Amino acid sequence: QKEVEQNSGPLSVPEGAIASLNCTYSDRVSQSFFWYRQYSGKSPELIMSIYSNGDKEDGRFTAQLNKASQYVSLLIRDSQPSDSATYLCAVNDNAGNMLTFGGGTRLMVKP
Amino acid sequence: KAGVTQTPRYLIKTRGQQVTLSCSPISGHRSVSWYQQTPGQGLQFLFEYFSETQRNKGNFPGRFSGRQFSNSRSEMNVSTLELGDSALYLCASSSGADTDTDTQYFGPGTRLTVL
pLDDT digit string, tens, across residues A23-53: 999 988 888 999 999 999 999 999 999 999 9
Quickly count: other Cβ atoms within 10 Å of residue B40's Cβ: 6
pLDDT at A94 over 70: no
pLDDT of residue B102: 86
- Cβ B33–A49 below 8 Å, yes or no? no
pLDDT in tens, B61-98: 999 999 999 999 999 999 999 999 999 999 999 988 77
Whole-number percent of chain A with pLDDT over 70: 96
A103–B58: do the CB atoms touch at under 8 Å? no
**pLDDT at A80 > cutoff 70:** yes
Task: Tell me what the mean pLDDT of segment B27-34 comes to.
Answer: 95
| Bridging pattern class, strands B110-114 and B10-13 | parallel
Mutation target for A interface from B21, B99, B110: give the one with most A CBs within 10 A: B99
Q: Is the pLDDT of residue A96 over 80?
A: no
Q: Tell me what the pLDDT averaged over chain A comes to.
A: 94
The angle subtended at Cα B19 by Cα B14 and Cα B21, nearest 5°, is: 135
Half-sphere exposure of B17 (CA within 13 A, CB side): 13
Residue B4 pLDDT > 90: yes
Average pLDDT (B1-21) is 95
Chain A contacts in chain B segment 34-53 (CB below 8 A) = 35, 42-45, 48, 50
Q: Is A50 exposed, middle or buried (0-12, 13-18, 19+ CB in 10 A)?
A: buried
User: What is the C-alpha separation between A39 and A41, in angstroms, rounded?
Assistant: 6
| Contact residues for B72 (Cβ-Cβ < 8 A; gap 6+) | B24, B25, B29, B30, B32
For B34-65, give the DSSP string.
Answer: EEEEETTTEEEEEEEEETTEEEEE-S--TTEE
Q: Nearest C-alpha of chain B: how many angstroms from A76?
A: 21
Assign A98 a pLDDT band (cuts: 50, 70, 90). confident
- Residue A9, C-beta contacts closer than 8 angstroms, at least 6 positions apart: A105, A106, A107, A108
- pLDDT at position A2, please? 78
Choosing among B26, B32, B43, which should be mutated to test the A contact, i.e. which has the most A CBs within 10 A?
A: B43
To the nearest 10°, report the CA torsion of A29, A37, A39, B86. Answer: -20
Q: Do A98 and B103 touch (CB under 8 A)?
A: no
Contact B16, B81 (CB under 8 A): yes
Say what the pLDDT of residue B114 is: 98
Mean pLDDT of chain B: 95
Is the CB of A101 less than 8 angstroms away from the CB of B109? no
Q: Say which DSSP state B25 is in.
A: P
